[in-house]
Amino acid sequence: MAALQGVLYLVLGPWLVGWVRLVKARLANRRGAPAHQPWRDLVRLFGKEARVAHTASPLFRIAPYVVFVATALAAATVPLVAVELPTAVIADIIVLAGLLALARFFLALAAMDVGTAFGGMGASREMMVSALAEPALLMGVFTVAMQAHSTNLSSVVSHQLELGLVLKPSMLFALTCLALVAVAETGRIPVDNPATHLELTMIHEAMVLEYSGRHLALMEWAGQVKLVLYGVLLVDIFLPWGIARSFEPAALAIGLGAAVIKLALLGVLLAVAESVLAKMRLFRVPALLNVALLMGLIGLLSHVILEAGA
Amino acid sequence: MNALFVMLLIPVVAAGVLALLRPWHLAAGVNVGASALGLACTAWLGWQVAAHGVVSGAGFHVDGFSMALVALTAFVGLTTAVFSRTYMRQLYDSGTVAATRMRLYHAMYQLFMFTMLLALTTDNLGVLWVAVEGATLATVLLVSLYRTSESIEAAWKYFVLCSVGIALALFGTVLTYFAAGHLGAAAVPGLSMSALHEHAAGLQPSVMSLAFVFLLVGYGTKAGLVPMHQWLPDAHSEGPAPMSAMLSGLLLNVALYAIVRVKLLVDGSLASSSNPYLAGQLLMGFGLVSFLVAAFFLHRQRDIKRLFSYSSVEHMGIVTFAFGLGGPIATFGALLHMLSHSLAKSAIFVTVGYAARIAGSQGLEHIRGLIRTQPAVGWSLVAGVAAIAGLPPFGIFAGEFLLLVATVDTRPWLAVVLLAGLVVAFAGLFRHLQPVVFGAAPEGQRPVRAAMAPVLLHLGLAAWFGLAMPGVLAGWLHGATFLISGDTLP
Amino acid sequence: MLPSTLTFMQQLVPVLAALVLFLSFVLLAQARPLSAVHAFAWQGALLAAVTVAVAAVSGHGHLYVSAFITFALKAVLIPWMLHRLIRRLALDRSVEGVASPALLNMAAVALVIFSYWLVLPIVQHESGITRNIVAISLAVVLIGLLMMVFRQQAVSQVIGFMSMENGLFLAAVSATGGMPLVVELGIAFDVLVAMVLFGVFFLEIQASIDSLDVDRLNRLHEREDESP
């Protein structure tokens, strides 16, 4: 069951990215490529030859695999269709953050490995953004975790399910905080433009500039899984209804359907935001992440002051 | 009650009239007339209070404490109005102040009187707050009357610092209301101070302690307690002389009045808690620090009005300390001190106003040889400083003496500190006074038209209070002493 | 008291109060006077909303009147007056340099924690949804004070002061279910008059030192060489 969920993530990743691109195109009055285009790109890339620069070390070849595996593992722990899976035991938010950090670490190292200017630039920018986004992520996560008295994702989701629809200031602030962090970490507008071809504006793209063939396919796939991961995280914590609590086929089907619908809606929201907002200048990004941290802090404080019922 | 309503109505009506009155030279006359009427009503009210002990109803509550201060306020208001008549005419003639500003000045003068009288007679803690804030607002524009950079800066500082302080006092008021709401008993006193005083023992100590801190910091800012006094020297020295006299003489008293009223509630509430003397200790601490800091700052002054403003801070510090010490002797001394200080300080500011006009500047090095240029002003200043510095037979000496007696009784080592501070302040004042009055007069100083009658009247009263007090006033003060300290003078 | 057992209105009160606190932070960070005025107007509107919610929950009728007065005064009238003043003083395009905004934010958070600690012994025996809002209101007051201390433009200082009054109003509503109407009216009147006077002052200050940077108002000092 757990393995099935992991595979589901891998499948959904490219679909979600394709869906977001389609909506953006439609919003821009274009017809846009069909939603399974990223799948076709991945298949095409797997078929191509992987050329590696002669200045690259073994790290360069290993990195895509490490990144992909770490991201996929992280994704597998997040409940998508059902809670209380066997992997739920390790589905700790801290573990999640750690796995993603591992992936990012290797990605940045590989970017600097070949010795090009753009790689180093992308790596340093990525590190700056993550360094600022990590505290905000942890702050938002702690706010949520304090309510469920555990950092285990399954417990958090179950707790939210039991609570029902309640308007709580701490959740509102945590939602804003995590949304901002998600945008920063997955490299979407207004932090980074995933469709840019101008190297000086790249953050994530600059790091994978040197890859080709199956290596590039793995890197792209990992990025897409990361997007689904963050999306599911947001959806799980704040809008968890529909998730299956048992393993009956009917419940699982409902869970799957609910997850897909929610992800689709989130995709539309993301596409609209990307169309409306402009990419921020790089030195303004810390201000945005400061806001995210502040929101997380206020959420935490709201929880302690307003809800904990001392 | 009629006396009370009429007394409060007169300044409001006068303010309205003065705001609309075009020929401003009538305004001064209206001002004096309104103040005289107000004083007459105050006398009427005073007679009622003397007869019945307390006049209360419809949200007002006038007991001995309030009445003494009300009488003082009305009296000083009248004498200052008389002084202001000649003084402001001179200012207008010399072109310092324009006609529209004169209208503003006179209208605000009466409004200021109204807010002070309201603060002193109301029973509602919230209305007290509104009135004290109103007094600040009424005088802010008057401090910047001359429209120089310095006066605008002083007025801005005054406005901002006092508003912030007052806002904190409002939080304290809200907390008090909160405590009142949880009395649990059948009676819901709301914000009525007299009712709260009766039920004080039922107020939660933790809430009232926090409320008192906020109220002390808030109203203490208005009273000029260190370290919230930063606005005082600037505001009192930059405004016109009548305004300085009123601010120093009257508004500080109103702020202290508010603090003492609140202290009564807090004492009642904390009486059975772990730290029953918290209010007194806080008052003593702030008072002592204010007193010492001001006494030392007196020596550094270069401007004559700032000198006396710091003297105001010093005296308010002593009075606060005395109220904090508690006990009938110290309390009676504090009340006597409050009255005498108002009289003497307003007299001094009037005299200093004339002195500054003689010398053409407020700087201490420019004002010299007043005795030779205009003996009336010179000798009045000497008498005024003697009164302020605490020489007998003036009332301040009596007040300080009583305080020292009480301090020696309870905390002897603090009496040493007090004495040392008094010596420092004394030295500071006379050190500056000597060249100002007795030095060689510079060239070209002419005497000015000075109506010294108010000054002499004030100083005479201050001396009289020091020696023997009229029975009615003594009755009020004794009543106040009993109310505040729970005991009568031995 | 689990939030899920409360009615919608009762849930709304802490949410709105938290938003008021958030707006305090937003106010602190604004560099342009006009955006600060807008943030202040929003804070006033939210304050009125909190009052309405508390009125709906507790059933005190006079709170509706208070809410209306607050909205009219703090969300409409005073922001309008400030707007006009800023236009008149030609400040609408100025940007004030806020010294170290990160440090200010941290100080503000510390103030929130401090006010919570301060208020805790008072409200822990309370019941009722509004008890924890007292900490929020004190935090808003203290953050307003912080804003007054660390901003150099007179307009920002005035907005900080008005924000303090917002916090005080919230305290009154949350701790005591609203002060007596007489007192509320008096306070509102005082705030309005204060605003008018601030307006007059801005014009005087600008006429005097040709800027509204109050750090430049520093001629009254106790310097040895001062000659008035």
Within chain C, strands assigned E span none
Q: Do chains A and C touch (3 or more CB pairs under 8 A)?
A: yes
Is the CB of B150 inside 8 Å of chain C's CB atoms? yes
pLDDT digits 0-9 by tens, B17-57 = 888 877 767 888 888 888 888 888 888 888 888 787 777 77
Asked which of A269-273, B182-186, B402-406, B440-444 is least confident by mean pLDDT, the reply is: B182-186
- Subunits that touch chain B (at least 3 Cβ pairs < 8 angstroms)? C
Which of B148-152, B244-248, B390-394, B434-438 is the most confident on average?
Answer: B244-248
Please state the rounded mean pLDDT for residues B129-157.
87
**Residue in B130, B204, B238 closest to C183 by CB:** B130
pLDDT digits 0-9 by tens, B445-468 = 777 777 777 788 888 888 877 777
- Cβ of C116 and A166 within 8 Å? no
**A189–chain C nearest CA distance, Å:** 23
SS3 A84: coil
SS3 B303: strand
Task: State ipTM.
Answer: 0.88
DSSP string for A58-87 = HHHHHHHHHHHHHHHHHHHHS-SSBSS-GG
- Cβ of A298 and C18 within 8 Å? yes
Q: Is residue B468 part of a domain?
A: yes
**Confidence at residue B214, expressed as pLDDT on a 0 to 100 scale:** 92
Q: Residue A310 pLDDT more than 50? A: no
Which residues in chain C have their CB less than 8 angstroms from residue B178's CB? 122, 175-176
Q: Residue A221 pLDDT more than 60? A: yes
**Confidence at residue C227, expressed as pLDDT on a 0 to 100 scale:** 39
Cβ atoms of C181 and C65 within 8 Å: the answer is yes
Residue to substitute from B163, B229, B274, B296, interface C, most C β-carbons within 10 A: B163
Tally A–C CB contacts below 8 A.
62
Which residues in chain B have their CB less than 8 angstroms from residue C205's CB? 152, 156
**Residue in C12, C25, C136 closest to A294 by CB:** C25
**Residue in C118, C182, C222 closest to B300 by CB:** C222
pLDDT digits 0-9 by tens, B314-323 = 999 999 999 9
- Cβ of A173 and C22 within 8 Å? yes
Please state the rounded mean pLDDT for residues B58-65.
82
**Confidence at residue B314, expressed as pLDDT on a 0 to 100 scale:** 92
Cα gap B47→B41, rounded to integer Å: 10
Q: Is residue B350 part of a domain?
A: yes
Cα angle for residues A195, A196, A201 (degrees, 5° grid)? 140
- Cβ of C190 and B124 within 8 Å? no
Is the CB of C165 inside 8 Å of chain B's CB atoms? yes
Contacts of B477 (CB under 8 A, 6+ apart): B64, B68, B332, B335, B336, B469
Task: Give contacts of A 17-56 with C, CB under 8 A.
Answer: none
Cα gap A243→A258, rounded to integer Å: 7
- Cβ of A305 and C132 within 8 Å? yes
Is the CB of B123 inside 8 Å of chain C's CB atoms? no
Q: In terms of Cα–Cα distance, which of B241, B187, B175 is closest to B214?
A: B175
pLDDT digits 0-9 by tens, B270-294 = 877 777 788 888 999 999 999 999 9
- Cβ of C217 and B152 within 8 Å? yes
- Cβ of B149 and C209 within 8 Å? yes
- Cβ of B126 and C179 within 8 Å? yes
User: Count of CB atoms within 10 A of residue B350's CB?
Assistant: 30
Which residues in chain C have their CB less than 8 angstroms from residue A171's CB? none
Number of domains comprising chain A = 1
- Cβ of C116 and A302 within 8 Å? no
- Cβ of A169 and C133 within 8 Å? no
- Cβ of A309 and C19 within 8 Å? no
pLDDT mean values, one per 10 residues, chain C (228 residues): 60 84 88 88 92 83 86 90 85 70 85 86 67 84 90 85 91 78 82 85 79 67 42
Is the CB of C67 inside 8 Å of chain B's CB atoms? no
- Cβ of C172 and B302 within 8 Å? no
Number of domains comprising chain B = 1
Cα gap B342→B257, rounded to integer Å: 13
**Confidence at residue C228, expressed as pLDDT on a 0 to 100 scale:** 40
- The pLDDT confidence band at residue B201, using thresholds 50, 70 and 90, is confident
Q: Is residue B297 part of a domain?
A: yes
Which residues in chain C have their CB less than 8 angstroms from residue B204's CB? 122
Is the CB of A298 inside 8 Å of chain C's CB atoms? yes
pTM exceeds 0.80, yes or no: yes
SS3 B414: helix
How far is residue B480 from each of residues B123, B302, B400, C101, C208, measured CA to CA in Å? 15, 39, 18, 52, 47
Residue to substitute from A168, A171, A306, interface C, most C β-carbons within 10 A: A306
How far is residue A48 from each of residues A45, A214, A215, A217, measured CA to CA in Å? 5, 7, 10, 10
Q: Is residue B124 part of a domain?
A: no
Please state the rounded mean pLDDT for residues A98-103.
91
- Cβ of C3 and A290 within 8 Å? no
Cβ atoms of A79 and A87 within 8 Å: the answer is no
Cα gap A302→C226, rounded to integer Å: 51
Contacts of B52 (CB under 8 A, 6+ apart): none
DSSP string for B445-467 = --------HHHHHHHHHHHHHHH
Strand-pairing partners, residue B55, are: B62
Q: Residue B65 pLDDT more than 80? A: yes
Largest CA distance in chain B: 75
Which residues in chain C have their CB less than 8 angstroms from residue A159's CB? none
Please confirm whether the linkage preceding C180 is cis (ω < 30° from 0): no
Percent of chain B surpassing pLDDT 90: 14
pLDDT digits 0-9 by tens, B404-447 = 888 888 888 888 888 888 888 888 888 888 888 787 777 767 77
Which residues in chain B have their CB less than 8 angstroms from residue C182's CB? 124, 126-127
Q: What range defines the domain where residue A199 resides?
A: 2-307
Please state the rounded mean pLDDT for residues B150-172.
89
**C3–chain A nearest CA distance, Å:** 7
Please tell me what DSSP assigns to residue B444. T
> What Rg do the C-alpha atoms of chain B give, in angstroms?
21
- Cβ of A301 and C112 within 8 Å? yes
pLDDT digits 0-9 by tens, B214-231 = 999 999 999 888 888 888
- Cβ of A167 and C11 within 8 Å? yes
C200 vs B1, more confident = C200
Contacts of B16 (CB under 8 A, 6+ apart): B107
Please state the rounded mean pLDDT for residues B102-115.
88
Which residues in chain B have their CB less than 8 angstroms from residue C217's CB? 149, 152-153, 156-157
Q: What range defines the domain where residue B485 resides?
A: 279-490
**C219–chain B nearest CA distance, Å:** 6
Cα gap A31→A18, rounded to integer Å: 13
Question: Position A288: which residue type?
Answer: L
Strand-pairing partners, residue B363, are: B303
